[in-house]
Amino acid sequence: MKKTMVYISEETHRGLKKLAFEKDTSIAELIRRAIDIVYGEDIEDIQDMEGELARYQSQPGSAIELEEYLSRKKASVSG
pLDDT in tens, 1-12: 999 999 999 999
pTM: 0.60
How many residues does this entry show for the chain?
A: 79
Single-letter code of the amino acid located at 70: L
DSSP state of 4: -
DSSP 7-64: ---HHHHHHHHHHHHHHTS-HHHHHHHHHHHHHHHHHHHHHHHHHHHHHHHH-GGG--
Question: Would you state the pLDDT for residue 47?
Answer: 87
| The pLDDT value given to residue 73 | 83
Going by pLDDT thresholds of 50, 70 and 90, the confidence category of residue 79 is low
Quick: pLDDT tens for 18-77: 999 999 999 999 999 999 999 988 888 898 889 888 888 888 887 888 898 889 888 888
